[in-house]
Amino acid sequence: MKIKSAEFVMSNSDVAKCPKSMLPEYAFIGRSNVGKSSLINMLTSRKSLAKTSGRPGKTQLINHFLINKNWHLVDLPGYGYARVSKSAKKTFQKFITKYFDFREQLVSAFVLVDIRHTPQPVDLDFMAWLGEHGIPFSIVFTKADKLRPLAIEKHVEDYKNILLETWEDMPNYFITSSSKTIGKDDVLEYINTLNENMNLSSN
């Protein structure tokens, strides 16, 4: 799929105010500083469609972007950047859970994970939450340019081993690098395939 147009639509924290159209949505989420904005800019070939920041937790709203006039890319707030009390173990905001619970247009989520790190409980917990709620998702390993190929394989294998302790199958996953444009075509073709299954044109 070639992205011919990418337009900012709106930002808000109220799921009820999200776009009313029934266009399919693909939501990107991950811990802060995982490289989410850079990935979105890489996928859309736009330098600053999503705002990048060195400060964790910069994205605090649900951001909708209209891609090729026929689907929405959704930039969701990061989770896990704030220290929370034991009584507030849900480390992602209430409106995020509402988004996943009520947004009928959502086709799939993409959970971003920094491939350099060992599997983090906050990521595993979030994936488990998605699984329990029947929300389709793929894992997007980011910053692959920071590791050698064998190290990438080992880190992915570590993730597989941990996930397969509780999951029947390893979730769909992609290996990406925003700076090296690695994985761009794979992610976009996956989205394109899902769109085509819904009889959407990729033009």
Residue 58 has pLDDT above 90, yes or no: no
Whole-number Cα distances in Å, 5 to 67, 69, 90, 190 = 6, 7, 36, 18
pLDDT reported for residue 200 = 55
pLDDT reported for residue 56 = 47
pLDDT reported for residue 92 = 52
Contact predicate 175/141, CB 8 Å: yes
Q: Could you tell me if residue 33 is inside a domain?
A: yes
Q: Could you tell me if residue 102 is inside a domain?
A: yes
pLDDT reported for residue 86 = 46
Identify which of 56, 115, 60 has the alpha carbon closest to the alpha carbon of residue 81: 56
Q: Could you tell me if residue 71 is inside a domain?
A: yes
pLDDT reported for residue 59 = 56
pLDDT reported for residue 33 = 84
Domain count for the chain: 1
Residue 83 has pLDDT above 70, yes or no: no
- Paired with 112 in beta bridges are 30, 140
pLDDT reported for residue 202 = 46
Residue whose tokens read 């999503």: 50
pLDDT digits over 169-182, tens only? 999 999 999 999 99
Residue 203 banded pLDDT, cuts 50, 70, 90: very low
Q: Could you tell me if residue 203 is inside a domain?
A: no
Q: What percent of the chain has pLDDT over 90?
A: 73
Q: Reduced to 3 states, what is the DSSP secondary structure of residue 145?
A: helix
Contact predicate 49/73, CB 8 Å: no
pLDDT digits over 106-121, tens only? 999 999 999 999 999 9
Q: Reduced to 3 states, what is the DSSP secondary structure of residue 175?
A: strand
Mean per-residue pLDDT over the chain, rounded? 88
pLDDT reported for residue 50 = 82
Q: Could you tell me if residue 202 is inside a domain?
A: no
Q: Could you tell me if residue 1 is inside a domain?
A: no
CATH number of the domain residue 159 falls in: 3.40.50.300
pLDDT reported for residue 13 = 82
Strands 6-12 and 62-67: antiparallel
| Lowest-confidence pick of 12-21, 34-43, 93-102, 146-155 | 93-102
Contact predicate 174/190, CB 8 Å: yes
Task: Give the structural domain span for 108.
Answer: 6-197
Q: Could you tell me if residue 127 is inside a domain?
A: yes
pTM: 0.89
